[in-house]
Chain A
Amino acid sequence: MKFTLSWLKDHLETEASVDALAEGLTRIGLEVEGVEDKAKLLAPFTIAYVVSAVQHPNADRLRVCMVDTGAGDPVQVVCGAPNARAGMKSVFSPAGTYIPGKNITLSVGTIRGVESHGMLCSAAELELSEDHDGIIDLPADAPVGVPYATWAGLGDPVLDIAITPNRSDCLGVHGVARDLAAAGLGQLKGGAVAPITGAFPCPVGVTLDFGDTPSLCPAFGLRLVRGVKNGPSPEWMQAKLRAIGLRPINALVDITNYLTFDRGRPLHVFDAAKVHGDLTVRRAREGESLLALDGRTYELDPSMCVIADGNGVESLAGIMGGEASGCSEETVDVLIESALWEPLAIAQTGRKLGINSDARYRFERGVDPAFMLPGLELATKLVLDLCGGTPSEIVVAGTVPEPHRSIAFPVSEVKRLAGIDPTEDEIRQVLTALGFALSGAAPVLTAVAPSWRPDIEGKADLVEEVMRILGVDRVPSTPLPKSADVTRPVLTLIQTRTRRAKRILAVRGFVEAVTWSFVAKPVAEAFGGGAPALALANPISTDMSDMRPSLLPGLLLAAQRNADRGYDDVALFEVGQVFRGARPSDQFVAAGGVRRGTAGVGGTGRHWQGKAAPVGVFDAKADALALLDSLGARVDRMQIVPGGPSWFHPGRSGTIQLGPQNVIGHFGEFHPATLETLDVEGPLAGFEIILDAIPVPRARPTRTKPPLDLTTLQPVRRDFAFVVDRSVEAGKIVRAAQGADKNLIVATTVFDLFEGAAIGVDKKSVAIEVTIQPAERTLTDEEIDTICKRVISQVAKATGGVLRT
């Protein structure tokens, strides 16, 4: 919402400076977004007289002008404007001036061999309008040497304030003035409107016709002014409108725009000669359309409210008038409309049609119903003042609602909610100044909100009014009582896991990425997602259309982007939400990581100590298991099952699970087809763990760890090499060996793996070391032998493995 200082002073008697007013506005919640002082900005631009203008000797389109700037001898200026001529007055800027419209600073220049000591300016160069067809052509009486901005009335600072959606009353200058007056920054000028007696009945009737549908128009006022002379509005009005960025059109239209900003009261004027018969306010009919004042045609539907006459729709209620019945310089009889509209319908219609008009903006936020008729009277007065004519009586269809929201207001609420304790007098003063009607006495006042404050609902709103006008500064900072106890842990299990997972993966050399929660549909589909329920109806781009089913695609794409920038070896992880469905219970926290190129845990690339190998399934497995172990999961109880979901390499991936129904995560290299869908290239390996799937540790009464029995007996280690079919899983051999004596065998490791012609086609040799830890006494050779034999037989039984000889 923009207005000028002088406009504000039409409504506020004040001595306060523009800075003080700006500060005050922000303090009471009308945040100043900018103060533009054109006089300051355009100070070097002065009015000048063009003494002579002759053809440039070396350029057809240029003229050499001698310009009287009012300071000493005329200066020579080369000018390319087609309208530059001797005897005209225009705007001059000397060398050294910053030209806002061109973003340059002038210097003395030589243009095609002729020196130029400044510039004659167009309105566009001063950023006053879009007009750059020629230099500004001023009337003959414009005083030479005077700053142009001051003379043109641009010296009026423009304030731009942000109005929150609840404060429709401040969408007019009068309302802003009221708030400032309440805050002690001046005296509100009355603003009362005297009714104007009509000389004859309004010849145009109005009917509200909504049939059996809900009414979209509570009340509609109309009056005819006969015999007006329309033309340009006076300079004071034009200057105000221009200052806030509106284009003056003609007096009748300018009056409606002026009152929209002056009083927050949008109006509409019809050229009565173009209106056929009486007006009906109704819902639009299917198939109807309107050529609106913005020159565009809008297709209408029954959710929209229109004003129609014998010809059909003439105006889109509360949003924009129609071209056909609009006022022009030729208008003689004018119909002035002042109405109330259903805010919701206005908002919906505006949104549907994509029209953002000043009228819509106000009606959808709520205008002052009580000002409907005064607004019409005020408009009539301006029409009579500016255009003459004879007014009719006013016709009103419908009834202006009189909301009297009476609120019981215990003054103690101010202290309870805001923490300040103003006197009852202060509270009364503030509320009265804002237009509240107060009755009763403390401890409980009764307040009736003024008609222009549809946002006031209850006592909390009154507390806000009191607090913002008295100043939030007055609220004393009050320590929030802290618990007397030592701070207790506040994080939930999943929150702790999330935090720790990030640190663990970073410790393993991963760099944390935060990627979008949405991915392209084909990408989502490639990772088991893409369900219709998880597709955005209004995505910002096709790359961000579906909620991600997994962290891996985002990480793979990110790795590729880094490779494209020349960083081939990257390890990226993310811990964040993945979506299996739209319900809250379908959202999981996953930890995923992707290694690319040679970005293994031990370092990347070529090095004098040895070249890092391309990443593979075992890097991913190591990351996944290290993560689980560090999160305290019982990795030893989990099963590693070969293979994973379709986006993994079927022969180089694994699933970590606690039984087939309880999958914890996956790891592996990726399926080439998946990589192709994503348009990314390897070597790539990754893992993804669902943190919510890790079992919750059993609650224990104490933090005591199990007792530790440190035996003095030496462990015995024995090596075995088994020849098995190539397809036999090493994990099976280890489990079988381990099972040979569950008490005494404490560890089994695979220390060698061999495939080769020597042991046969499709065979492999797996060498394991079994650690036997005697518990009570040293084992005899026979006892050790027995265990070893059991290892061999168990492995043979489980895998068909034969001891390699």
Chain B
Amino acid sequence: MSDLDTLEREIRGAIEAAADEGAIEAVRVAALGKKGSVSERLKGLGAMSADERKVMGPLLNGLRDRVAEALAARRDELKKAGLAARLAAETLDVTLPLRAGALETGRIHPVSQVIDEITAIFGDLGFAVAEGPDIETDHYNFTALNFPVGHPAREMHDTFFFAPDDQGERLLLRTHTSPVQMRTMEKVAPPIRVIAPGRTYRMDSDQTHTPMFHQVEGLVIDKTSHIGHLKWVLEEFCRAFFEVEKVEMRMRPSFFPFTEPSMEVDIRCRRVGNEVRFGEGDDWLEILGCGMVHPNVIRFAGLDPDEYQGFAFGMGIDRIAMLKYGMSDLRAFFDADLRWLTHYGFRPLDIPSLVGGLSS
């Protein structure tokens, strides 16, 4: 008996000593393999007498089972240790910094973002987006907008001109987006609701003026819209655009040749550092000009001003961008300074919508 005990002790010793799955396999072969020590003894059972077999059978089978179990346990243990060692060896320093990816470096210019915001708001009110060329005729930029030839109001526009062509016609860079009013009325029959964002040009350069800037024009032509509607549209726009609960607006009578009555619109605000808080404070900030489309303009478009009426407004896109987002120098908008664009620009997928909020 002690022979089997010794054998078992030896095998168990070998199992314990096995350092890897190869060694454990060797132990298994040596014990339970075809010619293994335990297998050999099991083979001997056949030659035994029935009585002997009755005694030895269970002993040997028990030995075999215990060895197999010990082998499996040890193998499992070694596998776990091996995996742990592999994982330890595979450890990487996850604090290593990444390279900034495209989504992180890409930026949308504030002007584009603000145009998208404006479009989202006016789109909801049923306004389409209209366009016109940057290079305009005197007719569309001035005459059709009821600027009399030689009128001082023309001079206020500091117009960029091109050399006269063969027919003596002198083209110009549009000084406002208002020419789109006439171009739209010529193309589309009322009712009309459009906005027209775009580039505009005047010979001017300082902190708040650049020779090129952006305006958005608004035009509504139908048979009923009046200044009350204009007021509501502008109030709603400002509230939605500046993302505040309410804005307080002040309309002042003013003058534009192409609207009558004409008004300028101020909004109540308070300046705190580079922030402008709307709906509070004692400052009034001028943000746009507007009015009822002048009967002459409606007539110019081939419509009867006693039948058709409507309003128009125009505001500086760069200016409202500055007010909302706090830039102080207009010139920086067009300087393409990476630092400025990265700071004031918007992430590629910050797409303004009314359902999701204009800014995130």
Whether B135 pairs with A511 at a CB distance below 8 angstroms is no
Query: Using a CB-CB cutoff of 8 Å, which residues 316-352 of chain B contact chain A?
Result: 333-339, 341-342, 345, 347-349, 351
Whether B133 pairs with A27 at a CB distance below 8 angstroms is no
Whether A602 pairs with B345 at a CB distance below 8 angstroms is no
Whether a CB of chain A sits under 8 angstroms from the CB of B99 is yes
Whether A480 pairs with B229 at a CB distance below 8 angstroms is yes
Whether B338 pairs with A512 at a CB distance below 8 angstroms is no
User: Which residues on A sit within 8 Å (CB–CB) of B309?
Assistant: 416-417
Whether A584 pairs with B135 at a CB distance below 8 angstroms is yes
Residue from B102, B108, B212, B235 in contact with A477 in the complex, judged by beta carbons closer than 8 Å: B235
Residue from B129, B229, B261, B342 in contact with A463 in the complex, judged by beta carbons closer than 8 Å: B261
Query: Using a CB-CB cutoff of 8 Å, which residues 227-254 of chain B contact chain A?
Result: 227-229, 231-233, 235, 251-254
Most buried by A among B134, B161, B260, B295: B260
A718 nearest CB across to chain B (Å): 35
Whether A480 pairs with B203 at a CB distance below 8 angstroms is no
CB within 8 Å: A-B pair count: 262
Whether B348 pairs with A517 at a CB distance below 8 angstroms is no
A779 and B94 alpha carbons, distance in the complex (Å): 48
Which of these binds chain B: A47-55, A96-104, A427-435, A483-491?
A483-491
Whether a CB of chain A sits under 8 angstroms from the CB of B11 is no
Which of these binds chain B: A68-76, A262-270, A527-535?
A527-535
Q: A417-B227, A460-B260, A516-B211 are in contact. Are A508 and B338 (CB under 8 A)?
A: no
Whether B100 pairs with A460 at a CB distance below 8 angstroms is no
Whether A478 pairs with B228 at a CB distance below 8 angstroms is yes
A537 and B173 alpha carbons, distance in the complex (Å): 11
Whether a CB of chain B sits under 8 angstroms from the CB of A317 is no
Whether B163 pairs with A572 at a CB distance below 8 angstroms is no
Whether A540 pairs with B205 at a CB distance below 8 angstroms is yes
Whether B252 pairs with A31 at a CB distance below 8 angstroms is yes
Q: A130-169, CB under 8 A of B: which get 1 and which 0? A: 0000000000000000000000000000000000111100
Q: A227-253, CB under 8 A of B: which get 1 and which 0? A: 000000000000000000000000000
A503 and B73 alpha carbons, distance in the complex (Å): 59
Q: A417-B292, A510-B106 are in contact. Are A28 and B96 (CB under 8 A)?
A: no
A365 and B99 alpha carbons, distance in the complex (Å): 64
Residue from B96, B116, B155, B255 in contact with A166 in the complex, judged by beta carbons closer than 8 Å: B255
Whether a CB of chain B sits under 8 angstroms from the CB of A727 is no
Q: Looking across the interface, which residue of chain B has its beta carbon closest to that of A509?
A: B102
Whether A535 pairs with B163 at a CB distance below 8 angstroms is yes
Whether a CB of chain A sits under 8 angstroms from the CB of B150 is yes
User: Which residues on B sit within 8 Å (CB–CB) of A777?
Assistant: none
Whether a CB of chain A sits under 8 angstroms from the CB of B300 is no
User: Which residues on B sit within 8 Å (CB–CB) of A482?
Assistant: 125-126
Query: Using a CB-CB cutoff of 8 Å, which residues 10-66 of chain A contact chain B?
Result: 26-29, 31
Residue from A457, A492, A582 in contact with B135 in the complex, judged by beta carbons closer than 8 Å: A582
Whether B348 pairs with A419 at a CB distance below 8 angstroms is no
Whether a CB of chain B sits under 8 angstroms from the CB of A780 is no
User: Which residues on B sit within 8 Å (CB–CB) of A506?
Assistant: 106-108, 347-348
Which of these binds chain B: A204-212, A439-447, A467-475?
A467-475
Whether a CB of chain A sits under 8 angstroms from the CB of B12 is no
Whether a CB of chain B sits under 8 angstroms from the CB of A87 is no
Q: A477-B231, A480-B232, A603-B100 are in contact. Are A495 and B129 (CB under 8 A)?
A: yes
Whether a CB of chain A sits under 8 angstroms from the CB of B124 is yes
Whether a CB of chain A sits under 8 angstroms from the CB of B105 is yes
A490 and B133 alpha carbons, distance in the complex (Å): 19
Most buried by A among B125, B162, B309: B162
Which of these binds chain B: A306-314, A558-566, A657-665?
A558-566
User: Which residues on A sit within 8 Å (CB–CB) of B201?
Assistant: 517
Which of these binds chain B: A186-194, A343-351, A394-402, A632-640?
A343-351
A477 and B253 alpha carbons, distance in the complex (Å): 16
Q: Looking across the interface, which residue of chain A has its beta carbon closest to that of B204?
A: A540
A593 and B119 alpha carbons, distance in the complex (Å): 25
Whether B255 pairs with A491 at a CB distance below 8 angstroms is no
Q: Looking across the interface, which residue of chain A has its beta carbon closest to that of B183?
A: A584
Q: A417-B292, A464-B260 are in contact. Are A351 and B155 (CB under 8 A)?
A: yes
Whether A26 pairs with B101 at a CB distance below 8 angstroms is no
A515 and B334 alpha carbons, distance in the complex (Å): 5
Residue from B160, B252, B334 in contact with A539 in the complex, judged by beta carbons closer than 8 Å: B160
Whether A344 pairs with B227 at a CB distance below 8 angstroms is no
A95 nearest CB across to chain B (Å): 33
Q: Looking across the interface, which residue of chain A has its beta carbon closest to that of B122?
A: A490
Q: B208-231, CB under 8 A of A: which get 1 and which 0? A: 000110000000100001111101
Residue from A31, A475, A537, A572 in contact with B254 in the complex, judged by beta carbons closer than 8 Å: A31
Whether a CB of chain A sits under 8 angstroms from the CB of B128 is yes
A627 nearest CB across to chain B (Å): 13
Q: A351-B155, A495-B129 are in contact. Are A472 and B338 (CB under 8 A)?
A: no
B348 nearest CB across to chain A (Å): 4
B204 nearest CB across to chain A (Å): 8
**Can you name 21 A-B pairs with beta carbons within 8 Å?**
A31-B264, A165-B255, A167-B255, A347-B150, A420-B228, A460-B305, A463-B292, A467-B253, A482-B126, A491-B128, A492-B131, A508-B106, A511-B105, A512-B345, A518-B211, A547-B135, A567-B339, A570-B338, A575-B112, A603-B100, A612-B99
Identify 20 new A-B residue pairs, CB closer than 8 A, beyond the known A417-B309, A492-B131.
A344-B150, A364-B152, A461-B260, A476-B231, A477-B232, A490-B129, A502-B108, A507-B103, A507-B106, A511-B338, A536-B160, A540-B211, A555-B336, A558-B335, A561-B336, A562-B336, A565-B337, A577-B199, A579-B135, A608-B96
| In the A-B complex, the 4 residue pairs with the closest CB atoms | A29-B253, A419-B228, A509-B102, A164-B255
